[in-house]
């Protein structure tokens, strides 16, 4: 599979910009992995699965981005005579991202439902619906990007089909979030609403990156595309995971889980008298 990234030669600045963006994505995900492992003990057992899912997301996304970074370096060679990085025998592909999203997006959706305190059959049905919508969105997007070189019209048609599933998925997510927040502790309700807007921001960047061959099929467009992908990855996985963990700790503290109460200052320290 060949994406537009493999069609162009790059100045040193543009080549290194993409290389550094991919490296930054790797570093952000593995740094967040360590954070989630260290803070899991402050999350009550009923919400701890959400933190475990964040760890899975960090490993999966970080590994794929590491592979993407290596592939980028293998796909171009420096031409001394022109001062440009020219395409090599290896080709760069964004297809691996779609494979990764098949794993990470179900995890992201499920951990959201867990911190919303959705349980039992309701959790199973809602998670199943969201995961099927997510997989349909990803698969149709994957098919579409296969045509980004030979048929921009086909690219956009499949992108439009993918968007239908995208809208349906986000409608359910938004409905569940704003239905649940009135019953949540105040320290958790406000960030939960912000999680929704973060998701809308970050997840909208992905279709913009998908459509970049239509808007700007050039080396500049490639840099913009990889910047969009990186910002979306860090926002929708790392920052999202941090916010979900914060909400889980706040809910844990409100329900009397002592380690969470200590880090949120709800539990008086030894030697002090509660007011």
**pLDDT of 272 over the 80 cut:** no
Contact between residue 196 and residue 236 where contact means Cβ atoms under 8 Å apart: no
Summarised one tens digit per residue, pLDDT across range 128-170 is 999 999 999 999 999 999 999 999 999 999 999 999 999 999 9
Q: Is the pLDDT of residue 203 over 70?
A: yes
Does the structure show a pLDDT above 60 at 268? no
pLDDT given for residue 273 in this prediction: 41
pTM: 0.92
Separation between Cα atoms, residue 165 and residue 169, nearest integer Å = 6
pLDDT digits (tens, 9 = 90+) for 77-124: 999 999 999 999 889 999 899 999 999 999 999 999 999 999 999 999
- What phi-psi label fits residue 118: left (phi over 0), alpha (psi between -120 and 50 degrees) or beta? beta
CB neighbours of residue 192 within 10 Å: 22
Which pLDDT value is given to residue 271? Answer: 46
Domains of the chain from N-terminus onward: 4-263 (1.20.1070.10)
Q: So what's the pLDDT on residue 264?
A: 87
How high does pLDDT run on average in the chain? 93
pLDDT confidence band for 275 (50 / 70 / 90): very low
How many angstroms separate the Cα of 174 from the Cα of each of 35, 147, 169, 194? 27, 32, 9, 11
């Amino acid at each position: 599979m060949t994406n537009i990234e493999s069609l162009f030669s790059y100045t040193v600045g543009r080549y290194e910009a993409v290389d550094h963006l991919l490296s930054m994505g790797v570093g952000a995900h593995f740094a967040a992995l360590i954070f989630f492992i260290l803070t899991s003990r402050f999350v009550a057992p009923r919400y701890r699965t959400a933190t475990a899912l964040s760890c899975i997301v960090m490993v999966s996304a970080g590994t794929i981005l590491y592979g993407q970074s290596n592939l980028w370096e293998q796909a171009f060679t420096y031409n001394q005579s022109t001062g440009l990085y020219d395409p090599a025998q290896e080709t760069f592909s964004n297809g691996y991202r779609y494979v990764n999203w098949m794993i990470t997006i179900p995890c992201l959706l499920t951990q959201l439902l867990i911190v919303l305190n959705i349980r039992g059959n309701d959790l199973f049905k809602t998670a199943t619906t969201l995961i099927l919508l997510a997989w349909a969105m990803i698969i149709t997007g994957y098919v579409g990007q296969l045509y980004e070189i030979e048929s921009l019209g086909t690219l956009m048609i499949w992108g439009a089909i993918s968007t239908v599933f995208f809208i349906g998925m986000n409608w359910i997510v938004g409905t569940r979030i704003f239905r649940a927040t009135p019953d949540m502790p105040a320290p958790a309700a406000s960030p939960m609403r912000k999680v929704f807007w973060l998701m809308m921001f970050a997840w909208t960047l992905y279709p913009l990156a998908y459509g970049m061959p239509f808007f700007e099929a050039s080396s500049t467009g490639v840099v913009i595309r990889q910047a969009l992908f990186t910002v979306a990855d860090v926002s929708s996985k790392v920052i999202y995971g941090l916010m979900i963990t914060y909400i889980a700790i706040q809910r844990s503290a409100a329900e009397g889980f002592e380690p969470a109460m200590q880090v949120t200052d709800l539990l008086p320290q030894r030697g002090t008298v509660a007011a």
